């Protein structure tokens, strides 16, 4: 089954983010108060190693498991969407203490009330689809 590898990657992701407390509301609160290095260490080390990994993939033209060249998804070069969208997401991140990955993982941790947070995020995505053309797009 070709989707099994994604399921297994997801299981690892869920375990990593739970064990490193990245899914904790308290850790997010602490991060936005600059009172611990923990979250900066997690994200910072992931990014530094990620930069190295991406450079290696580009230099050596690493192929994926299907033999195709690995294509880096380019984000569209606009300013207001990432700034305004990012700010709105930041408001939500600090309130819920969870970005999208952790929303799923927190539910798995047994905090079933986060099903409401998940459904609210789906509603938020739907609302974006309704008003997207009225928002700054460049």
Partner 1 sequence: MEFIKQPWPWYVAGPLITLVMVSMMLFGKSFGVSSTLKTVCSIGGAGKVSEFFRFDWKTAVWNLFFVAGSLIGGYIAATYLSPDQAIDLSEKTVASLEGYGILNPGVEYLPTSIFNWGNLLSFQGFLFMIIGGVFVGFGTRYADGCTSGHAISGLSSLQWPSLVAVIGFFIGGLIITHLILPFVL
Which residues from 72-111 bind partner 1, rule CB under 8 A? 72-79, 81-101, 103-111
Query: Does 61 engage in binding with partner 1 (CB under 8 A)?
Result: no
DSSP 79: S
In angstroms, what is the minimal distance from the CB of 67 to partner 1? 10
Query: Does 44 engage in binding with partner 1 (CB under 8 A)?
Result: yes
Cβ-in-10-Å burial (0-12, 13-18, 19+) of 131 comes to exposed
Whose structure tokens read 């080390």? 45
Q: Which two tokens stand for residue 112?
A: 């079933």
Query: Does 35 engage in binding with partner 1 (CB under 8 A)?
Result: yes
By CB under 8 A, what part of segment 5-34 binds partner 1?
A: 5-33
- Return d(Cα 138, Cα 131) in angstroms, integer: 15
In angstroms, what is the minimal distance from the CB of 59 to partner 1? 13
């Amino acid at each position: 089954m070709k989707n099994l590898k994604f399921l297994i990657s997801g299981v690892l992701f869920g375990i990593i983010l739970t064990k490193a407390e990245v899914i904790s509301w308290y850790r997010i609160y602490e991060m936005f108060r600059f009172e611990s290095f923990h979250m900066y260490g997690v994200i910072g080390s992931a990014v530094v190693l990620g930069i190295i990994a991406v450079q290696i993939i580009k230099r050596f033209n690493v192929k994926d498991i299907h033999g195709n060249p690995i294509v880096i998804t380019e984000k569209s070069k606009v300013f207001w969407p990432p700034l305004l969208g990012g700010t709105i997401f930041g408001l939500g991140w600090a309130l819920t203490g969870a970005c999208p990955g952790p929303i799923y993982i927190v539910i798995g941790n047994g905090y079933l009330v986060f099903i409401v947070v998940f459904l609210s995020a789906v509603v938020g995505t739907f609302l974006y689809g309704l008003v997207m053309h009225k928002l700054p797009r460049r």
